[in-house]
Amino acid sequence: MHIGEPKHPVPAFIANAVSEGAAGLASYPATIGTAPLREAIRDWILRRHAVRDIDPEKEVLPVNGSREALFSIAQAVIDRQQASPIVVSPNPFYQIYEGAALLSGARPFYVNMSASNGFAADYDAVPRPIWETTQLLYVCSPANPTGRVTSIDEWKNLFELSEKYNFVIASDECYSELYFDDAIPPLGALAAAAASGRSTFDRLIVFSSLSKRSNVPGMRSGFVAGDRNLLKNFLLYRTYHGSAMSPTFQHASTLAWRDEEHVAENRRLYARKFKAVIPVIGQALEVDWPEAGFYLWLKTPIDDTIFARDLYHHYNLTVLPGSYLGRHSGGENPGAGYVRIALVTSIEECREAANRIATYAKTL
């Protein structure tokens, strides 16, 4: 339960599309991707995020999963000739952000998301000198590991900060399609920009993926969308990076982005697991539904590393210590005292895991 790897079955129509597109393996792919794929992504963005328009030629770029692009964007954006470049990261966070910052020649600055502020990023705590040298800021919404969704007011504040200090916002939205109320999908950065009255996506790029949405992590299929000038430079970088998506997977991805039925079924399966697990764990520990995603962010009654270690030792169950997802900043590690539980396996195994967690917690 410690790794966020989707385990639901691959939708049959996607598997069939991979087989049908096998002839594409005989061709080198273009880094910019096929027109049908970029148009399918554009159409999905228009349906899902209520933006007025987005240019599939200049504002959409297929990538090999969001992880690869989240890392490489820092290499393309950070200007090492500027003194002491900063990459702002949420804390706790997806570890790719930190690695991307360090290997681009920048220094990460961690913005805590703790229970005391409802797991919102405390951007007011960022000193002005940090903002003045910030070149890139990562946002994850819905957040890994907490499942919290960034609000419209928070987005507006970020847009204002980006405009004032001239940094790029990289919005990681790989969990955006895993939510619990079909009437209230999580707000994305592009939709927030449109709702804020912005006519362009200047200094804003979003990252999305089929891995969680469509249960195809092995396809390594996602996209980046937003600021056309940033994407022009990112595309140039990627032509040297050698990271074009296989034509076979581009064909299957085109169909996947055009279908929502399998995504709704995916959400239903996750909701069933949360409904089964939360009452059981709640018999022994305080536990809440996340706003979105497939993680439980569970507060532990003892040190989180000891909790995870003993749960594995005595009950053969692995969860991820929250302190491993955070860094000490501002006098605390905001991940400490929590564990992340990934509800990715079958509902039967999730129920068994919940029983083991509750049984163990009652001994503490």
Strand order, beta sheet including 295-299: 295-299, 338-342, 320-321
Instruction: Classify burial at 106, counting beta carbons within 10 Å of its beta carbon; exposed 0-12, middle 13-18, buried 19 or more.
Output: buried
Confidence at residue 179, expressed as pLDDT on a 0 to 100 scale: 98
Q: Is the pLDDT of residue 50 over 90?
A: no
Task: Give the pLDDT confidence score for residue 346 in this predicted structure.
Answer: 97
Q: Is the pLDDT of residue 243 over 90?
A: no
pLDDT per residue as tens digits for the range 286-316: 999 999 999 999 999 999 999 999 999 999 9
Residue 233's pLDDT band (cuts 50, 70, 90)? very high
Residues 20-48 pLDDT 10s: 999 999 999 999 999 999 999 999 999 99
Take residue 84 and report the two structure tokens written for it: 């002491």
**Residue linked to tokens 């270690």:** 309
pLDDT for residue 55 is more than 90:
yes
What domains appear along the chain, each with residue ranges and CATH number?
Answer: 13-257 (3.40.640.10), 261-361 (3.90.1150.10)
Banded pLDDT at 18 (limits 50, 70, 90): very high
Q: 254 vs 5, 35, 38, 259, 307, CA distance in Å? A: 22, 10, 8, 9, 43
Of the chain, the percentage scoring pLDDT greater than 90 comes to 97
The chain-wide mean pLDDT, for the chain, equals: 97
- Distances from the Cα of 34 to the Cα of 19, 48, 106, angstroms: 18, 21, 33
Give pLDDT tens digits for 192-222.
999 999 989 999 999 999 999 999 999 999 9
Q: Given this model, what pLDDT does residue 22 score?
A: 95
Looking at residues 12-26, what average pLDDT do you find? Answer: 96
